[in-house]
Amino acid sequence: MVTAESGPCSGILGTAAIPIDWPEQEVHVAEEDVSPTAQITYQMLEGTVKVMVVRIPRLPAGQQAKALVTLEIKRSPLLPPKRTDIYRLPNPRRLPREIRPYLGPSPKIEATNPKIKALARQIVGTKQNAWEQVEALYDYVREKVQQKSGPLKGALAALRDGVGNHEDLAAAFIALCRAADIPARTVWVPKYCYPEFYLVDDEGVGHWFPCQVAGKREFGGISETGPILAKGDSFRAAQNPRERQRFPAESVTGEGSPKVQSVRKLLSE
């Protein structure tokens, strides 16, 4: 919601990530409440995030424009697989194009750092079973990095210091996975995030498995049912494509001094 309180405004451009369908989530547009002066379009970022783009060419002094979208979201928990011995590590050279980015570094996920790569090799050791390799990385982070509230420091610092917030713990696990050639990424829900990792079955089909590094132990499945806002952790900023963000932040720009009220409410569970 944008108000031209101090005078006329023009060229207003706003962006906000909205949920999309995933195997564990269905999303439908229930209602759109858009002022005649506002225009809404949508664009995809990195193939995993849908961004609502709001344009308001002109807003006279004292007037307000709104672009409100209500979504109906059905989210299901994910259970761990009954058999884990059928999964193996993917061949990094044969990964689908959309999976390859989840082997490289991201903001605060220093997957190519020599110390992280050496630590990943040490943790995995001689384990042959792919599921056991990932679980060893998972257990290491849970045992060696204490969860504590504080500013985000990133995977390398959290592993070095042995302490970090819930986002740092997720970043540490993801960095170790990627360093061991196991694709992994961040899943964003309101006020929280958790990681998921990628393995292929004995028929060569790829699967994503979630886990909760901070808090309750949940590996290969998760009871979380909050709306998924995005998956991934290296997005081009909508306003500056050269900038990389861990999560596509909401933004509003424009001429004048518009008063902006961001509305994001979870109406019911």
- Statement to judge: residues 70 and 96 lie in one domain: no
In this structure, is residue 181 part of a structural domain?
yes
User: How many domains are there within the chain?
Assistant: 2
The residue ranges of DSSP E strands in the chain, in sequence order, are: 2-3, 9-18, 25-34, 39-45, 49-59, 64-65, 67-75, 146-147, 163-164, 184-189, 192-200, 206-212, 218-219, 230-231, 235-236, 244-245, 251-255, 259-260
Q: Are residues 109 and 219 located together in one domain of the fold?
A: yes
Specify if 229 maps to a domain.
Answer: no
Instruction: Give residue 238's pLDDT.
Output: 64
pLDDT value for 124: 95
Residue 231 lies in a domain: no
Question: Does 266 fall in a domain?
Answer: no
- Percent of the chain residues past pLDDT 70, beyond the cut: 98
34 and 97, same domain (yes or no): no
Q: Is residue 86 part of a domain?
A: no
Instruction: Looking at the structure, tell me whether residues 113 and 50 fall in a common domain.
Output: no
102 lies in the same domain as 187: yes
Mean pLDDT of 113-134: 95
Same domain, 101 and 207: yes
For residue 80, pLDDT beyond 80:
yes
User: What are the φ and ψ backbone dihedral angles of 181, each rounded to 5 degrees?
Assistant: 65, 30
Q: What are phi and psi of 235, to 5 degrees?
A: -115, 140
Give me the domain span that covers residue 255. Answer: 2-76+246-260
Instruction: Kindly state whether residues 160 and 256 are assigned to the same domain.
Output: no
Indicate the SS3 state at residue 94: helix
When pLDDT is cut at 50, 70 and 90, the band that residue 269 belongs to is low
Q: Same domain for 67 and 113?
A: no
Mean pLDDT of 106-135: 95
- 129 and 185 in a single domain? The answer is yes
| pLDDT, tens digit, 9 for 90 and up, residues 175-199 | 999 999 999 999 999 999 999 999 9
Q: How are the residues of the chain apportioned to helix, strand and coil, as percentages rounded to the nearest 5?
A: 20, 35, 45
Q: Look at residue 96 in the predicted model and tell me its pLDDT.
A: 94
Over residues 27-46, the pLDDT tens digits come to: 999 999 999 999 999 988 88
The rounded percent of the chain whose pLDDT value lies above 90 is: 83
